[in-house]
Amino acid sequence: MSNSQDEPITLSNFLFNKDGKFCLPCTAYRGFQYVTTEMTNRYQVYKNNKLETLRNAQPQVNIMNQDTATLPVQGANNEMIPGSRTYVKEDPPDVQKLGVASWTFLHTMAAKYPREPTQTQKEDMSEFLKLFSHVYPCNWCAMDFEKYITKYSPRVESKEELSRWMCEAHNHVNVKLGKPKFNCDFWQQRWKDGWEE
Ligand code: FAD
């Protein structure tokens, strides 16, 4: 088996048992490992090139446009971490980036919550959201979210109820930050089913 186009087949490409017999599963497994690593590396190169192209094509980033504004931030200068062929030097998240990732998690979690949860699932979800509000790694956000949860207990009776509660909780933050409210009738399209063409 050839490891790549550049690497010819040699005896060292094959693995042998202790008794000196050719070991097909070990050799195949090593080949599989090689292919998956190679795919990961090539994907990273592809991703880096794509980011570079987008950055070059958009020297003026419109800060009002969240989609394009977030692109160049990823792997700011596209430089790799020393010793890594996989990870670019990406900055720690700021409140905005953390917020988008956290809301994505929270809304998706609600969208995947059972339609008819068991008592244990309901209790787990209530407990999780309470703990989440204690440990959210942005102090003033966490304090406000804690207050919100105390005032408006998470509605954990069903997927629909929880998703709407989450939407309202997010709208509470949107309003605080001077952003428009999201129409909660569309939670399902945004976080579960996608939009019809
Ligand atoms: P986000 O508000 O993060 O929204 C991401 C996407 O969710 C949007 O693009 C939209 O498609 C969808 N969406 C928007 N609103 C809703 C909704 N109501 N229901 C369903 N989907 C919706 N930042 C602060 O500066 N101060 C705070 O006090 C603060 N508190 C936070 C508390 C929590 C629990 C969390 C998770 C985040 C908090 N943030 C806070 C971060 C803030 O909410 C935003 O995430 C951040 O400002 C980035 O905003 P954004 O406009 O990019 O999109």
Mutate-to-test residue for ligand 1 from 135, 173, 179, 195, highest number of ligand atoms within 8 A of CB: 173
Domain limits, the chain: 11-59, 95-193
Q: What is the pLDDT of residues 70-121, one digit of tens each?
A: 444 444 568 999 999 999 999 999 999 999 999 999 999 999 999 999 999 9
Q: What is the pLDDT of residues 128-147, one digit of tens each?
A: 999 999 999 999 999 999 99
Mutate-to-test residue for ligand 1 from 129, 170, 176, 189, highest number of ligand atoms within 8 A of CB: 170
- Distance, in Å, from the CA atom of 101 to the CA atom of 93, rounded to the nearest integer, reads 9
Largest CA distance in the chain: 73
Q: Flag whether pLDDT at 33 surpasses 90.
A: no
- Distance, in Å, from the CA atom of 164 to the CA atom of 168, rounded to the nearest integer, reads 6
HSE-up (13 A, CA, CB side) for residue 181: 11
Our separate counts of H helices and E strands in the chain read 7, 0
Most confident of the ranges 12-26, 35-49, 86-100: 86-100
Ligand 1 atom showing the smallest separation from residue 167 Cα: 19
Per CATH, which fold does 95-193 belong to? Four Helix Bundle (Hemerythrin (Met), subunit A) (1.20.120)
Is residue 175 in contact with ligand 1, taking CB distance under 6 Å? no
Total-model pTM: 0.71
Return the exposure string of 12-36: e unless at least 16 CB atoms fall within 10 Å of the residue's CB, then b: eeeeeeeeeeeeeeeeeebeeeeee
ipTM of the complex model: 0.99
